Each structure stands twice: as C-alpha cells, then as structure tokens.
Amino acid sequence: MKLCTVIVPGSDGDRLLDRLAEAEFGATKIGSSGGFLRRGSVTAFVAVEDEQVGDLIGLLREHFPEVTETVPISALPLADEWGQPTDMVDVRVGGAVVFVIDLERFVRM
C-alpha cells in the first residue's frame, strides 16, 4: 500500500474530497498553510493500493490543473528585492502536490 499526501489550495478542499469520494478513494482532510504565496491549503491523506497510485494522480491532473495568476509583486516573498511594490507578476498557482510514501501498515478502527 501507499500513503498519498495530497495538498491543494484551500479553495479546492471541498472539491477535492468530492472528486476523491466519486472515485471511491477514502481520504482524511486537514487544514494546512504555507506555500509560495502563503495562502491556506488543504492536505488530504489517501491510502491506496500500489496499482491505484496512477489512477489517483490522473484524477488530480484532470481536476486540479495548475493555472497562471497575476499578483502584485508585493505578495511574494522577498518582494522588495525584485521590483516596485506596484509591479504585477505572473505566477503558477493551484494544482496539487502529491507525496507518495510506502505504507507499512493500514488499520481502520
């Protein structure tokens, strides 16, 4: 088995759980924070059989694509070193980050 840790933007959290449930992937959701723009995020833990990892990643690629967003440079870390606070810059946001870890044991109680 594998433990897949899936991180998506906070605004996609409910949609993530809906898509996982539709595909019959059980998940546990927790709130999290961090990332390049310091926005809220949602982390879901999903235990899957080894052969299901590809299906999970395919689902995430289909439903949670990365997009480009224009933000003020002042929203970025180290912004004062990169330009004027009123400058705008395109950054890639959204999508999903997935960590896949071997799971020695899974117990449901």
The per-residue pLDDT string of the chain (109 residues; one tens digit each, 9 = 90 and over) reads: 999 999 998 888 999 999 999 999 999 999 787 665 566 789 999 999 999 999 999 999 999 988 887 878 777 666 566 666 677 888 777 789 999 999 998 888 8
74 located within any domain: no
User: Inter-axis angle of helices 53-63 and 13-22, to 10 degrees?
Assistant: 130
86 located within any domain: no
30 located within any domain: yes
DSSP, collapsed to helix, strand or coil, labels residue 59 as helix
85 located within any domain: no
The secondary structure element, H or E, covering residue 19 is helix 13-22
Task: Look at the chain and report how many structural domains it folds into.
Answer: 1
49 located within any domain: yes
pTM reported for the whole predicted model: 0.77
Extract the runs of DSSP E, i.e. beta strands, from 13-96.
Answer: 28-34, 39-48, 66-72, 88-94
Domain ranges, residue 48? 2-66+93-102
**CATH code: domain of residue 41:** 3.30.70.120
